[in-house]
């Protein structure tokens, strides 16, 4: 025991020396240590630490290339740094030292970047503004967590010396928010977008319609939003996005380099539409509004021509609002549609999407029909999903259908962490943080070529989720792991190393006001205050 104490004391003084604080408690001989260059989530592709750190001071400028987008990224960075540092941090195109954002040709791809840090400054270089933006997220994590606070903090603001070269493994790193079961306002969606951007997520899939709600105004079918936007699970007031609201979400997402992927789920999950317009029902009778949480009881009427007029109008109006390449048509849990009708429906509807210039995405049941050329299938099965169903998806992948992986017992963010989790569901299982992180998208689906995998996406269904704090508790920390699966090279995958980097995110989330699940699997630092 005594030996143990001495060892601890010795260790303690070594640590003090290492951190530059003298053992006598005098003023630091050297500045406090900076965050190691590799303590970043998602893990960068390559990290070479070395050389002196850079210190952000009251004289630091943010110098940007003379391009509108580089300047916007510079202003975004300044807006992150100014409140906590208290420094002016002018964004300039000439002169001024310190932080530099450069657009240049190089091996960066559409989203990669290089970060060089040394005594004189930090330079981010990328071929595209998205790369600069992702580099800015890395830079944030290299600064103390207090940089995320909205009041002046003491600093010092050091960035470790060295070089990071970083490009993503996958082009699809998504998050889905179900705004149908519970409605979320534009501001709530923006808050989530800002959180997704921290981890280099680049797609926001909005589940805009379901049995319980229709959330987007469609001019040619106005009752969808005004009638079926009027409630939600549990019978609350619901809501819907006007076209201007939706465009504001698209604009804001784009300013954070996320593409919005809208989903109108069909032919099932359509009670909202069926309740709004009697003529869409095979029997001509509108069902009642639905505020429960059962699935699989509704279907558009595949045999009626008006169904395709409806689908055409909705897709046309939504496509016109959506600059992104994709339109998600759902296709899951069509338990009230016969297989024959399902195939017929998808054969009619996929060309409508193409006709408005968009690429089809469907949940993986789409592979039970004939996916259009170029379509993507979003796999939401479980480890235990039957071999036949997995093989159907794998065969489509071999035939050219791209795959987005959203395995429900891994990365459905609405699954409870443990039996005690107060929110969420458990039909796919209990999903602790390690389970959510510890799988490889590259070899997850037997028989699917790795080249068919476009990436990963973390859905958050909202039967039990009704406010931002709920979103955050379910998303954090698992969302960070999904982001790493999507971004980082497979060679970096290691739970023991990841959990240490993940633990360092805790104080950042606290500084940002994000209430996360403090999983006992993660060695979080003690909470302050």
380 counts as binding ligand ACM under rule CB under 6 A:
yes
19-to-16, 193, 251, 350, 521 alpha-carbon distances in Å: 5, 36, 44, 61, 27
**CA atoms 159, 490, 522, 512: torsion sign:** positive
The two structure tokens encoding residue 77: 């960075």
Least distance CB 384 / ligand ACM (angstroms): 15
Dihedral over Cα of 488, 493, 499, 501: its sign: negative
Give min distance, CB of 328 to ligand ACM, in A: 10
> Residue 257 or 363: which CB sits closer to ligand ACM?
363
Site string for ligand ACM, 338-377 (x = CB under 6 A): -------------------------x--------------
Nearest to ligand ACM of 133, 345 (CB atom)? 345
CA angle 76, 58, 100 (to 5 degrees): 45
Distance of closest approach, residue 402 Cβ to ligand ACM, in angstroms: 17
Q: Are strands 61-64 and 91-92 parallel, antiparallel or unpaired?
A: parallel
Count of residues near ligand ACM by CB under 6 A: 4
Distance between CA 444 and CA 132 in Å, rounded? 31
| Paired residues of 158 in beta bridges | 55
In whole angstroms, the minimum distance from the beta carbon of 211 to ligand ACM comes to 11
Q: Which of 69, 148, 263, 332 binds ligand ACM (CB under 6 A)?
A: 332
Residue 262 burial (CB count, 10 A): 25
DSSP assigned state of 31:
P
Contact by Cβ (8 Å): 326, 359: yes
Verify binding: residue 192, ligand ACM, rule CB under 6 A. no
**Minimum separation from the CB atom of position 408 to ligand ACM (A):** 6
Q: Is 319 left (phi over 0), alpha (psi -120 to 50) or beta?
A: alpha
Of 75, 128, 248, 333, the active-site residue reads 333
- Tell me the two tokens of residue 517: 């699940």
Angle at 371 between CA 368 and CA 375, to 5 degrees: 135
Q: How far is it, in rounded angstroms, from Cα 386 to Cα 377?
A: 17
Q: How far is the CB of 192 from ligand ACM (least distance, A)?
A: 19
The interface mask with ligand ACM, positions 284-323, x = CB under 6 A, is: ----------------------------------------
Q: Which tokens sit at 496?
A: 């023991």
- Please, what is the Cα angle at 137 between 185 and 455, to 5 degrees? 75
Between 100 and 205, name the residue whose CB sits nearer to ligand ACM: 205
Tokens 């070089």 sit at which residue?
A: 163
| Minimum distance of ligand ACM from residue 412's CB (angstroms) | 7
Q: Quick check: is 148 catalytic?
A: no
> Closer CB to ligand ACM, residue 70 or residue 405?
405
Cβ pair 242, 217 in contact under 8 A: yes
Q: Is residue 210 near ligand ACM by the rule CB under 6 A? A: no
Q: How far is the CB of 182 from ligand ACM (least distance, A)?
A: 16
Going by C-alpha positions, the residue among 209, 211, 215, 208 that lies closest to residue 292 is 211
Contact 203, 175 (CB under 8 A): yes
The nearer residue to ligand ACM, 332 or 484, going by C-beta atoms, is 332
Q: Return the residue of 333, 389, 426, 438 that touches ligand ACM, per CB under 6 A.
A: 333
Task: Report d(CA 13, CA 332) in Å as an integer.
Answer: 60
3-state secondary structure 210-244: CCCCECECCCCCCHHHHHHCCCCHHHCCCCCECHH
Collapsing DSSP states into helix, strand and coil, what is residue 15?
helix
CA atoms of 53 and 393, how far apart (whole Å): 49
Residue nearest to ligand ACM (CB): 332
Residue ranges that bind ligand ACM, judged by CB under 6 A: 332-333, 363, 380
Which active-site residues does the annotation give?
Answer: 333
């Amino acid at each position: 025991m005594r030996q143990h104490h001495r060892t601890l004391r010795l260790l303690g003084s070594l640590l003090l020396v290492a951190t530059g604080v003298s053992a006598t408690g005098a003023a630091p001989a050297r500045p406090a240590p900076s965050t190691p260059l590799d303590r970043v989530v998602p893990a960068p592709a390559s990290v070479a630490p070395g050389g002196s750190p850079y210190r952000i001071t009251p004289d630091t400028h943010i110098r940007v290339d003379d391009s509108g987008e580089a300047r916007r990224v510079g202003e975004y960075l300044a807006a992150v740094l100014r409140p906590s540092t208290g420094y002016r941090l002018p964004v300039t195109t000439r002169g001024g030292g310190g932080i530099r954002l450069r657009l240049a040709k190089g091996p960066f791809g559409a989203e990669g970047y290089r970060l060089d840090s040394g005594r004189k400054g930090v330079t981010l270089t990328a071929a595209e503004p998205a790369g600069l933006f992702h580099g800015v997220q890395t830079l944030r994590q290299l600064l103390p967590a207090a940089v995320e606070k909205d009041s002046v903090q003491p600093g010092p603001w050091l960035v470790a010396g060295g070089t990071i070269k970083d490009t993503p493994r996958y082009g699809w790193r998504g998050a889905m928010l179900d705004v149908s079961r519970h409605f979320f306002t534009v501001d709530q969606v923006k808050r989530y977008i800002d959180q997704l951007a921290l981890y280099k997520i680049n797609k926001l899939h909005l589940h805009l319609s379901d049995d319980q709600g229709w959330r987007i105004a469609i001019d040619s079918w106005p009752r969808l939003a005004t009638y079926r936007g009027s409630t939600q699970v549990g019978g609350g007031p619901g809501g819907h996005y006007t076209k201007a609201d939706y465009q504001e979400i698209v604009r804001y997402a784009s300013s954070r380099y996320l593409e919005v992927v809208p989903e109108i789920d069909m032919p099932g999950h359509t009670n909202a539409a069926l309740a709004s317009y009697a003529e869409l029902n095979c029997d001509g009778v509108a069902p009642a509004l639905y505020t429960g949480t059962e699935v699989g009881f509704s279907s558009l009427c595949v045999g009626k021509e008006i169904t395709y007029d409806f689908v055409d109008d909705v897709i046309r109006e939504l496509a016109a609002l959506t600059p992104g390449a994709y339109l998600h048509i759902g296709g899951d849990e069509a338990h009230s549609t016969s297989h024959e009708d399902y195939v017929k429906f998808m054969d009619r509807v996929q060309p409508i999407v193409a006709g408005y210039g968009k690429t089809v995405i469907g949940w993986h049941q789409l592979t039970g029909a004939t996916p259009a050329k170029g379509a993507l299938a979003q796999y939401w099965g479980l480890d235990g999903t039957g071999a036949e169903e997995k093989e159907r998806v794998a065969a489509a992948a071999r035939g050219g259908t791209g795959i987005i992986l959203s395995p429900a017992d891994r990365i459905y963010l609405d699954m409870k962490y443990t039996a005690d989790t107060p929110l969420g569901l458990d039909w796919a299982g209990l999903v602790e943080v390690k389970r959510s992180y510890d799988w490889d998208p590259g070899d997850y689906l037997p028989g699917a070529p790795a080249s068919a995998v476009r990436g990963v996406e973390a859905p958050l269904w909202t039967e039990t989720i009704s406010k931002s704090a709920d979103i955050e508790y379910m998303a954090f920390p698992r969302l960070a792991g999904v982001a790493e699966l999507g971004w980082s090279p497979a060679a970096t995958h290691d739970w023991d190393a990841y959990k240490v980097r993940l633990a360092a995110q805790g104080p950042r989330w606290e500084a940002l006001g994000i209430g996360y699940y403090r999983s006992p699997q993660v060695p979080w630092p003690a909470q302050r205050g």
